[in-house]
Chain A
Amino acid sequence: MRLVNRPLRLAACTAAVLLTAAVGCAPQDESPGGPRAAGQGPRSCDRGKLATVAPGKLTVGTDKPAYAPWFTDDDPANGKGFESAVAYAVAKRLGYGKEAVEWQTVPFNNAFAPGEKKFDFDINQISISPERKRAVAFSSGYYDVRQAVIALKGSRAARATSLADLKDLKLGAQVGSTSLDVATDTLRPTRPVAAFQKNDLAKSALRNGQVDAIVTDLPTAFYITSAEVKDAEVVGQFATDGKGREQFGLVLDRESRITGCVSAAVDALRKDGTLGALEKKWLTDTVDAPVLK
């Protein structure tokens, strides 16, 4: 009879230990009255004094590899490439010099995973959408995106002049991209769109003839056809649909306290023409791709 009580006591102890551990492990910063709530009061964007992940530094995330023309040489910290330049321009506007910007590798999926973020904002050609806004916060858009179709020169796909010409083709696009949505929803092709993990794999499939055409954003399309797959060409771009334009935004934690400041910085950069100048400098002029209707 004495033995019977032992498991009971053991269970009680385990429960107590587990509960204590849980209470002890719980971070307190989100409880009301914690430091987070206190900082939310005055929404000041004092230069260089934002509530960043690492004090005094601005931590910026992007995926690896960082693709051209958004970045160059897979090195976001060199300030070259459109998104690298935008990140540094935003940082400067917020009062962080080049030396105060730290880059973090953030895989696409981690950018929107719940839990503590290790970046202040993530810049990775991420389109703003109402659904995504339920999971993360976005800054104002820093780039207006157009989607484009590329195909091998001389192929049937390359001769397409309208969306109807593309309907029966085997298309490909990167998973998680709005290009895939455009290919699937706007075009409504008769064969399922192939979804690739990375644009690199989509390019291989295009070269191998496994897909007839791939859909990417226009600057990427120009970069692929001019530098990577030279026997491919841009067939055309999609008209922006009636629902409004698609924009890339900086991704922030939904609870981030600096979203307002970052958005204000982006707005100011758009207003003073900095964004326009950076676009001109780093992205190929995108007007000459015919619009597919």
Chain B
Amino acid sequence: MTYVKQALPGPADDGYVPSQRRIERERFKRSRARRATAVAALSTLVTAVVLFLVITGSPGWPRTRETFFSAEYARKSLPKVLDGLLLNLQLLVACGAAVLVLGLLLAVARTLRGPVFFPLRALATAYTDFFRGLPLIICLLMVVFGVPALRLQGVTTDPVVLGGSALVLTYSAYVAEVFRAGIESVHPSQRAAARSLGLSSGQALRHVVLPQAVRRVVPPLLNDLVSLQKDTGLVSIAGAVDAVYAAQIIAGRDFNFTPYVVAGLVFVALTIPMTRFTDWITSRMDRRRAQGGIV
């Protein structure tokens, strides 16, 4: 009985006493870690001081500060920039959803097998090739000014709707390629196994391939969404006022660049949570994969 009790793992009564050498080693390790932290802190401080001195000591600094970092213009422009940001967010949500759906459909169309689907595959390929190559700004100009020029009955001339469609056209091509990469990264044995279990081709895609594919491409997808968020501002080409454009209006009127800096910071503030979210998702997935919870 006593033997059994002793064999059970326990932190306190396992009789282990760290050797003198081990204690010494750990103390040394701790001191090195403290030292590394101190060196890093000092080095950061020195770098910050040098950068500060270089920037504030440059001959044009007072002028630069006044033009780019004026508190007065920052206060003046923030409400208008935030007003404009509402348009960016609306576009991000609406276009983001449309892009994900359309991109997934395109990717599935491109990966369909069987000769009967050739036209669909060819169309999807042509679409992704064309809109991935076409510069976004040209796509926007064509849609925003070209479509209303046709004077079609019942087609909107609203620049925001048209600009949003142009964004969807371009971004769904990118996202379709991301999804396709995900689908093709799923090992063929998965599909084969699913089919051998009696699932139809569609069922195999829906229940076996897509869940794995989508999970694998979440980081690049979120990357594209961040990119989309910044590009929503390009819709202003047709006259709608987004955050960047609101800044430009003030900058152009008063000849001060501070509103641009404000708009830039607002976008960064929006992007950082999204990036952290991406990191979190990625690490969570990595953990799961390492545990072998999900194949």
Contacts and interface: CB of A to CB of B under 8 A. Distances in A.
B252 A108 contact: yes
Given A113-B257, A114-B63, A210 B239 contact: yes
Interface in A6-58: 7-8, 11-12, 14-15, 18-19, 22, 26-31
Interface residues of A, number: 50
Given A175-B249, A181-B253, A194-B159, A19 B149 contact: no
Contacts of B236: 195
Contacts of B35: 4
Given A195-B245, A209-B157, A109 B251 contact: yes
A273 interface: no
A112 B236 CA distance: 22
A156 B239 CA distance: 21
Contact of B254 (A131, A195, A201): A131
A18 B239 contact: no
Contacts of B43: 7-8, 11
Nearest to A6: B39
Contacts of A202: 239
A194 B39 CA distance: 55
Interface residues of B, number: 42
Contacts of A195: 236, 239, 241, 245, 249
Interface in B48-65: 49-51, 53-54, 57-60, 63-64
B237 interface: yes
A134 interface: yes
A192 B35 CA distance: 60
A135 B250 CA distance: 13
A211 to B, nearest CB: 7
- For the residues of B in contact with A, the DSSP-based class is helix
Nearest to A111: B255
A7 B254 CA distance: 47
A135 B62 CA distance: 12
Contacts of B238: 194, 196, 201, 205, 210
A84 B134 CA distance: 38
A194 B46 CA distance: 49
Nearest to B150: A208
Contacts of B157: 208-210
A178 B67 CA distance: 20
Contacts of A18: 50-51, 54
A207 B42 CA distance: 63
Given A26-B57, A194-B240, A208-B145, A135 B256 contact: yes
Interface in A108-150: 108-109, 112-115, 129, 131-132, 134-136
Given A172-B239, A195-B239, A8 B42 contact: yes
A180 B59 CA distance: 35
A11 B35 CA distance: 15
A18 B253 CA distance: 37
Contacts of B239: 172, 194-196, 201-202, 205, 210-211
A201 B53 contact: no
Nearest to A31: B59
A8 B39 contact: yes
Given A194-B239, A209-B157, A27 B255 contact: no
Interface in B12-43: 35, 39, 42-43
B47 A15 contact: yes
Contacts of A208: 145, 148-149, 151, 157
B172 interface: no
Given A176-B249, A208-B148, A19 B255 contact: no
Interface of A: 4, 7-8, 11-12, 14-15, 18-19, 22, 26-31, 108-109, 112-115, 129, 131-132, 134-136, 172, 175-178, 180-181, 192, 194-197, 201-202, 204-205, 207-211, 254
Interface of B: 35, 39, 42-43, 46-47, 49-51, 53-54, 57-60, 63-64, 66-68, 145, 148-149, 151, 157, 159, 236-241, 245, 248-249, 251-257
3 smallest CB-CB distances across A and B, nearest first, come from A176-B252, A194-B239, A135-B255
9 contacts: A26-B57, A26-B59, A30-B59, A114-B64, A132-B255, A176-B249, A195-B239, A205-B159, A210-B157
